[in-house]
Amino acid sequence: MRVCAFIGQWTIAQQQLGHVPSTEEAADWWREPRRTWYDHLREFREVFDLSDTPAPIATAAIARTEARLGRGDVGTAVSVLGAVVVA
């Protein structure tokens, strides 16, 4: 669940910032300690060992939302995460 929440947080930060953020930038956007985000990133990499960050998943979710609805809101981008297939 923590990894899923982290992917959702990353997606929201990426959508709101308008670009793929660094880990530090995303942590700062959420006003959370960078150390916490590095811990989450380590857990993410244990589950998704082919990706360094959730950025490809977030990019796919944002693109899918925008393709369906135009510039979607944050909740919409996060809601499509379960349907995203990352190649």
Q: What is the pLDDT of residues 33-77, one digit of tens each?
A: 999 999 999 999 999 988 899 999 999 998 888 777 666 555 556
Structural tokens at position 20: 């793929």
Cα–Cα distance between 23 and 54 in angstroms, integer?
A: 10
Quote the pLDDT of residue 49. Answer: 86
pLDDT at 3 over 70: yes
- Decide if pLDDT at 11 tops 60: yes
Sorted by where each begins, the domain ranges of the chain are 2-83
Residue 5 pLDDT exceeds 60: yes
